[in-house]
Structure 1
Amino acid sequence: METRELRYFVAVAEELHFGRAAQRLGIAQPPLSRAIQQLERRLGAALLDRTSRTVTLTEAGSVLLAEGRAALDAVDAAERRTRRVALSATGRPGLVLVTKAGTSSELLAKLLDAYAAEPDAVPVDVILCGPAEQERLLREGRADVALLHRPFDSTAGLHTEELGTEGQVVVLPAGHPLTVRSHVHMGDIAGLPGLPLPRWPNRDGTYPPGPGPRVRDHAQVLQLVALGRACVVTPESSRAQLHGDVAAVPVLDAPKVTTVIAWPPHSRSRAVADFVRTVTCLP
């Protein structure tokens, strides 16, 4: 199966319309139809059910769509990593680190300072992203290393080293009755009147059902908390980002959060190896 055929099929499967898929691919519709038919003959399976008005996926087509997307993502990631290594060899920056905005700020500064002091250090580009995006950027080859947070981020298939584990706190509006307590439990904050937990986007961009406000970044959440519209449970280290209009209280039964440095298992970058070695040797 050729990469070109996979791209053609994924376009049709996502659009469920040959005309729109052909326009998206920048080709004419007849050769696209022939390519899909040839792919079906080669696989010995119908991938699409076609009528004069609709195009739908068969069971086999649904499987190929999921597998095809993963395969194409892997090909694209390989190309991006190869290009980055080539650029690094010409003296241009060769290390990209991605982390979630608003978290691990003190740790990140410590890691970058330690690595910069190494004699063979290369410039590090830092990408600050929204929740759960750093894992995707790393897997797509848009970053060389990432700071991930278990249990929220998946590290399956990645190489990792643990950098630290911490508890979580609930961030509340300053002056809320719970802020005078030394600690709380998850049951104490579930269903607080007027202070629902925020809803973060799923990986596909949709939001889970619930009463909480839709949010996309840490700054947005903190503003909603300060306005008395939400509360949020977040790692203890986020205290460093808080201002006087909010307060944090430890949540004893919230899951512990482990921060890890993660990188692709097939990485052959000396810069990545040096960076990981440096940050994992820090006290």
Structure 2
Amino acid sequence: SSQGLLLMTEVLYNISGMRLPLVITCANRAISAPINIWNDHSDAMAVKDSGFMQFFAENHQEAVYQHILAYKISEKMNIPVMVNVDGFILTHSYEEVSIPSYSTIKKYLPAFKPSSGTYLDPKNPVTLGGFYPPKHYQKTREDLFGDMQKALLEIKKEWKNLSLIFNYKNKGNGLVEYTGPKMATTIIIALGSVAGTIKEVIKDNKNVALLKITSFRPFPAIEIKKLTKSAKNIVVIDKAISLGNAGPLGIEVQAALRDEKKNIKNYFAGLGGCDITEKQITNIIKNANIKSDKTLFNI
């Protein structure tokens, strides 16, 4: 998390480049300077292009099942996965959760058997992580990119299987979760624990919905385009900042909806652990129809 995650950035790229199945948990925190230990998504966004899949949990229960899913997907696709849980908000809080039995988990996740040639074995000598000239290097990136896109379908498939096996009642499909009226005119898009606050604010609102992104990498652009058809106003809340541009999530949403005629607003919020309150979310909704080309700090 935070500075520690950035110190191992080189290793992250090596892990994904060597197609090693691996799962890590990132307790999302801000990046210095100035020194700050509280929550935002700066660390995860700094390594969003490292080749790791990235899942974001809203609460403790979702984090439990996202970790189980992460192992399944990582082993099937030979791509590492980072499960993001908001630092302090989730990592240092208590919440009742259902923990699946060991036997049930083993049924869903049997012992992993790596294929020959993917690990060091004296009986089958191979070179791993070797030197690649340009045309071969580009081919490895092309393969990883293609498999990351294929993972979108695998995540949906396995999330459905997982939900049935563990009797996990949820509205999501592993990539996104939509909460609110089907024909909402305003849709808020966000990652992580702030989704809980947004749900509380919009629970009685017949015009506003939440589209929670649970898989940031691979990015579910098609799902977003499909689920925002009815909306005139899109509000993206970013807990990270791409200095000199906009919010990382906002940039992705803008790209996904580039052919749609929608009023898209991007807010920076919760940086360095700043509270995102119900009042602030209410103000966002009130001002959703006001057009602005700027990424806004004041909610």
TM-based fold match above 0.5: no
Larger radius of gyration: 1
**TM value normalised by structure 2:** 0.29
Higher helix share: 1
